[in-house]
């Protein structure tokens, strides 16, 4: 049987595949709602880019902290248990936005984001290897790309929720105008703006509790959970010796740093280049995610004919060119917008492809190995503040040199994987 004849998802796993794939949609909502919070809090609390980037530090730092415990949890129990735990934390974190609003504390919001992101980390650590195992190994990377293709649909939903329920509620008053306001007037305005954030997240939390109930009462396959022994030492040794896996973690660290950095500052750079407000600039962000979503389906189809590593190299080179154009600036604002959207188009391939290549052939080690690839999401926590610092010091265009360097690393990994036939 040829590669193109092997089914991506077999009939016996179709329903579990659909249920688990739905999770990709829901953590997409959280990821991209969080991206828009940087612009929201910058206006509400008159913060610098470095200060607002603490949101991403909290979100993706939580990913790092929860990934390995999540892997150990699903190793000891089951994939389904991991899904349930992840949904509880995700929904619970969304509900914590209410006490955060009552205290009007940025720190409390960061804590709520940390708990919510911990749930997303557990879901990602669980769902990605689960999807890889649901069918023939020959089509595992294609299967993960297909599941991941529904993630940006959640991203689009998250942006729309942010645009119409959060950003639309922000006052047009800038930092200077807010500093001149009567304290009580400022407090009332900020309360309304923070409530818009809070109630939107709580609405998502209520939906997640419904999904949680569906998952609890759904029958999921357990044939992949037979080996529950935990031997971290020997597992880590095997993983570290596997160069495709270990360098895959490095590549994923830089890729996530690039993705989060590009999207976190999209609204800000569009506002600068076109002279528009947050809500209008969010339309460009939304367009980027739509193109990201469509192109992921296209790349999944192309994998029938082109090796994943080769596609990864092509996409990385394209992103290097597009990001360099943003860094250099010049020309019309619309040209820069086209380049920004182009970056998203070619980024769509990277996360699931790096993930699939790195876990290919790991067997039971994939459960622990998956945690390493999710921990690599720490790149979003560390590199986004770096990009914010460069933005404060040298300008937002120059700050895009950070993701540019990241794409060079991804290209190098693609070349490495191609040499071993991945």
Cβ atoms of 150 and 21 within 8 Å: the answer is yes
d(C-alpha 422, C-alpha 420), whole Å: 6
Q: Hey, where are the domains in the chain?
A: 11-219+231-419
Give the list of residues 6+ apart from residue 245 with CB closer than 8 angstroms, or none. 239, 358, 359, 362, 369, 372
SS3 for 221-254, per residue?
Answer: CCCCCCCCCCCHHHHHHHHHHCHHHHHHHHHHHH
Query: For residue 5, what pLDDT is reported?
Result: 61
| Closest C-alpha among 254, 70, 282 to residue 155 | 282
| Closest C-alpha among 136, 139, 124, 128 to residue 301 | 139
DSSP 8-state secondary structure symbol assigned to residue 181: S
141-151 burial string, b = 16+ CB within 10 Å, else e?
bbbbbbbbbbb
For domain 11-219+231-419, the CATH class is mainly alpha
pLDDT in tens, 58-81: 998 898 899 889 888 887 888 889
d(C-alpha 101, C-alpha 94), whole Å: 12
Note the maximum CA span of the chain. Answer: 74
pLDDT in tens, 254-283: 999 999 899 888 988 998 888 888 778 888
Query: For residue 123, what pLDDT is reported?
Result: 93
Query: For residue 230, what pLDDT is reported?
Result: 59
- Our measurement of the distance from residue 335's CA atom to the centroid of its chain's CA atoms, rounded to an integer in Å, reads 26
From its phi and psi, is residue 330 left (phi > 0), alpha (psi between -120 and 50) or beta? left
DSSP 8-state secondary structure symbol assigned to residue 26: H
| Full-model pTM | 0.78
Q: What DSSP element (H or E) covers 174?
A: none
Q: Note down pLDDT in tens along the chain; length 422 residues.
A: 344 466 777 777 788 888 889 999 999 899 888 878 888 898 898 888 888 888 988 998 898 899 889 888 887 888 889 999 999 999 999 999 999 999 989 999 999 999 999 999 999 888 888 887 777 777 777 888 788 888 888 988 998 899 889 988 888 888 889 888 898 999 999 999 999 999 999 999 999 999 899 888 887 766 454 555 556 778 888 888 889 999 999 999 999 999 989 988 898 899 888 888 877 888 898 899 899 989 988 988 898 889 999 999 999 999 999 999 999 986 678 888 899 999 999 999 999 899 889 988 777 777 788 888 888 888 888 898 899 899 989 989 999 999 999 999 999 999 999 998 77
């Amino acid at each position: 049987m040829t590669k193109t004849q092997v089914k991506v998802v077999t009939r016996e796993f179709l329903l579990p595949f659909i249920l688990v794939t739905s999770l990709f949609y829901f953590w997409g909502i959280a990821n991209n709602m969080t991206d828009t919070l940087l612009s929201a809090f910058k206006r509400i609390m008159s913060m610098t880019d470095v200060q607002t980037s603490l949101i991403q530090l909290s979100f993706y730092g939580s990913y790092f902290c929860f990934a390995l415990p999540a892997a150990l949890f699903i190793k000891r129990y089951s994939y389904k248990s991991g899904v349930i735990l992840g949904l509880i934390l995700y929904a619970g974190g969304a509900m914590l936005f209410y006490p955060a609003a009552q205290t009007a504390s940025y720190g409390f919001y960061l804590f709520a984001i940390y708990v919510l992101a911990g749930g997303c980390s557990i879901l990602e650590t669980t769902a990605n290897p689960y999807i890889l195992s649901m069918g023939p190994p020959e089509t595992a990377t294609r299967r993960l790309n297909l599941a991941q293709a529904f993630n940006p649909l959640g991203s689009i939903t998250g942006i729309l929720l942010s645009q119409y329920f959060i950003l639309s509620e922000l006052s047009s008053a800038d930092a200077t105008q807010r500093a001149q306001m009567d304290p009580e007037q400022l407090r009332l305005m900020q309360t309304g703006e923070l409530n818009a954030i809070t109630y939107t997240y709580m609405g998502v939390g209520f939906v997640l509790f419904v999904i949680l109930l569906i998952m609890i009462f759904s029958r999921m396959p357990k044939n992949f959970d037979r080996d529950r022994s935990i031997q971290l030492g020997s597992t880590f040794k095997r993983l570290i010796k596997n160069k495709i896996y270990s360098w895959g973690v490095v590549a994923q660290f830089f890729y996530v740093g690039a993705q989060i950095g590009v999207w976190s500052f999209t609204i800000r750079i569009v506002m600068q280049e076109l002279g528009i407000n947050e809500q209008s600039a969010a339309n460009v962000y939304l367009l980027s995610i739509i193109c990201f979503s469509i192109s992921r389906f296209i790349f999944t189809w192309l994998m029938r004919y082109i090796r994943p590593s080769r596609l990864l190299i092509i996409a990385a080179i394209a992103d290097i060119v597009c990001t360099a154009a943003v860094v250099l600036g010049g020309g019309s604002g619309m040209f820069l917008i086209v380049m920004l959207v182009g970056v998203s188009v070619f980024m769509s391939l990277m996360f699931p492809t790096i993930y699939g290549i790195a876990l290919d052939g790991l067997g039971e080690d994939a459960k622990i190995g998956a945690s390493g690839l999710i921990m690599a999401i720490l790149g979003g926590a560390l590199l986004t503040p770096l990009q914010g610092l460069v933005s404060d010091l040298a300008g937002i265009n120059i700050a895009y040199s950070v993701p540019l360097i990241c794409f060079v690393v991804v290209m190098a990994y693609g070349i490495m994987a191609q040499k071993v036939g991945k």
